[in-house]
Chains A and B, each alone.
Chain A
Amino acid sequence: MNTITDIKEVSELRALSLNLFNKHGYPTKRDEDWKQSPLNNFLQDNKQLEIYKTNNDSINEKVFENFKHNKIIIVNGLVQKTDFIGKDKDKLIITTIDEYYKKNNKNLLKLFSNKKNPLVTANNALATSGFYLEIKDNLDLPIIIYHQYNSKVDQKQLHQKNYILINKNSKASVFEKFTNENKKTFISINTNIDVEQNSHIKNYILNSNNTENCVYRFKKVNIAASANYESFIFSNIVKTIRDEVEINLNQSLAECYLYYTQFLKKNENHEIKVKINHLAENTQSYQFSKSIIDGTAKGVYQGKIFVDQIAQKTNGYQLIKSVLLSDQCTFHSKPELEIYADDVKCSHGSSSTSLNKDELFYLMARGIPETQAKRLIVQGFLSEVVEKISDENFKNYFLKKTEDMLS
């Protein structure tokens, strides 16, 4: 089950990636894209972490959700078990990424195309695990991918490279639930997603119980005509994470909707980096992020909308809001627009404030104790984003998560 490196094409691409990585090395504060990244310190201090080679590690079934769903369980980067239900069995293909390489060895260049991002080149060179998932039709049930990392990867680095293909005219909700029980580990997950014509993918992510490690998650999403990609990332109890996505709206009527909520406390760090490339006419993108930051935590949002010269009638929207609950916490926001077309509608806004005292007084003047009033305001603030989720079941799931997180 381990990564096959004897495929000539893959070996060559990996060697090329390694050269690129060696030239640059780990990112530092001097790299504009990584200036505020919480990963820098961890990576500079832990360059020598041994690479974890995947194995048949045991599954933690306690974290399984109790509603009906298709299961994919990945332990320390390796697909350990799948359980697809009813007709969905015929609509899904899952293999290791190596199996995919074997069958498609002439068509791999696009999976190794990133030459600028040092951590993606490192992942391309060093990945020892990963999966290929193909969705062939409309699914009846959601997929939950359980990403589990246990103590076997303590003080190691793990590089995982995945490819998800959503065929034409398909619909699916894919929920990725991460559970980390390890220490001082660097986990790098690099996922390519192709959303083919007239397909709709909803990708929800729960970052939680990730107390002792450093995670870099990079996604590159290609969206074809009349297709859309909706993503929601909910982060709470994280140590050091960078969630990065690059989206190409390649054809007319391609759309993407990116939603984020995070509640960071103590010394937690979460960075979000978004780049949306509008590369065709009549494409639409929407970003909405809300953060609550407390303690000495640090939140970062870098969001760029690029509009190509040919991408007329683009509609791009970005709204980033954060509430800072303590004097020591920080939130860095960097909204960017780069527009080369003249008939576009793009807006961006960013605000960081403390908890609104007028709101607090209003609730307390109705007899609601201060702690409870603050909780209501915070819950309301984050719920505004969660309410945008279009899958009703997952909307309710995350509204409940938000409520539970604060109680």
Chain B
Amino acid sequence: MLSIEKLNVSVGDKKILEDFNLKIGKGEVHAIMGPNGSGKSTLSYVLAGKDGYEVDGKIMFKNENIVELPADERAQKGIFLAFQYPIEIPGVFMNNFLKTSLNAVKKAKGQKEVDVVEFLSLVKQHAKKLGIKDEQLGRALNVGFSGGEKKRNEVLQMSLLEPDLAILDETDSGLDIDALKVVADGVNALRSPNRSFLIITHYQRLLDYIKPDFVHVMVNGSIVKTGCSKLAQELDKIGYKEFQKAI
């Protein structure tokens, strides 16, 4: 699904990712854990195609190097980034945004676009599963949403767009225990043999709900250790200091 080879990312003189390598197979769930400032969020932005970085290396997605593609084309090809801090856009209403997004992706895939009636039925069905009220769908995008509402909204978008690779950037931050469970259930419902996940987190608690196949430790822009889900539990006890010392 995804193969990152010798990825170097910098902003000005500051190197953020250095010779970064990662392979994610179809249907696999990978978790990346690491201390603040290790480059996790940058990795998620670079994979999604954000401007402002100097990028060198290969990002092979479904056997195509997407490193030069803009964000919209990557999303249309099936990459989805659930933002750590979803952006508030005043005046852009949820329903209009979701329909525009869904139809842009469908159009790119050569599928039939949905009309208003089909869209409303579809979005309500998905929203209900995530405990999102109809009233929220009539509001401006993320404006005045609580932390939990914003994260649920990210999962709603993911479930509508049905990506092949979903990147979750600290989706657990700002969530209470109940909201964390709702969001995790939403993500688990999307797990399938054809869909891969990359979960970025500081803490093991999200991984109690979404069981990863692989856990990677990221320090100073590189992966320094890879293991199974038990590694996350170990990290919870020992922290990242050991890995930072090793470097």
Contact = CB atoms under 8 A, between A and B. Distances in A.
Interface of A: 357-359, 361-370, 372-373, 376-377, 379-384, 387
Contact of B97 (A363, A370, A383): A363
B91 A372 contact: no
A364 B87 contact: no
Nearest to B105: A367
A376 B87 contact: no
Given A376-B92, A376-B100, A370 B87 contact: no
A361 B91 contact: no
For the complex of A and B, 9 pairs with smallest distance between CB atoms = A380-B91, A380-B92, A367-B75, A364-B71, A366-B101, A362-B87, A367-B105, A384-B91, A364-B72
Contacts, number: 82
A365 B81 contact: yes
Given A376-B97, A380-B92, A367 B76 contact: yes
A368 to B, nearest CB: 5
Interface string B76-119: 10001101001101111100110011001100100000000000
B32 interface: no
Q: How large is the interface on B (under 10, 10 to 19, 20 to 34, 35 or more residues)?
A: 20 to 34
8 contacts: A357-B52, A365-B48, A365-B83, A366-B75, A367-B161, A368-B72, A369-B104, A380-B91
A376 B140 CA distance: 12
Q: Which of A357, A362, A383 has the most CB of B within 10 A?
A: A362
B154 to A, nearest CB: 10
B51 interface: yes
A367 B91 contact: no
A367 B81 contact: no
Contacts of A382: 91
B72 A373 contact: yes
Contacts of B75: 364-367
A368 B104 contact: yes
Contacts of B15: none
A348 B89 CA distance: 22
Contacts of B83: 362, 365
B70 interface: yes
A400 B141 CA distance: 19
B49 interface: yes
B200 to A, nearest CB: 15
A239 to B, nearest CB: 27
B50 interface: yes
Contact of A380 (B50, B72, B86, B140): B140
B91 A365 contact: no
Nearest to B48: A365
A359 B71 contact: no
Contacts of A364: 49, 70-72, 75
A377 B70 CA distance: 18
A368 B89 CA distance: 15
A384 to B, nearest CB: 4
B157 interface: yes
A362 B75 CA distance: 11
Interface string B157-183: 100010000000000000000000000
A280 to B, nearest CB: 34
A372 to B, nearest CB: 7
B51 A357 contact: yes
Contact of B91 (A358, A369, A373, A383): A383
A361 B91 CA distance: 17
Given A365-B48, A369-B72, A380 B100 contact: no
A369 B70 CA distance: 9
Given A357-B52, A368-B104, 8 more contacts: A357-B51, A361-B87, A363-B92, A367-B76, A367-B161, A373-B72, A376-B97, A381-B91
Contacts of B141: 380
A362 B89 contact: yes
B90 A361 contact: no
A104 B104 CA distance: 63
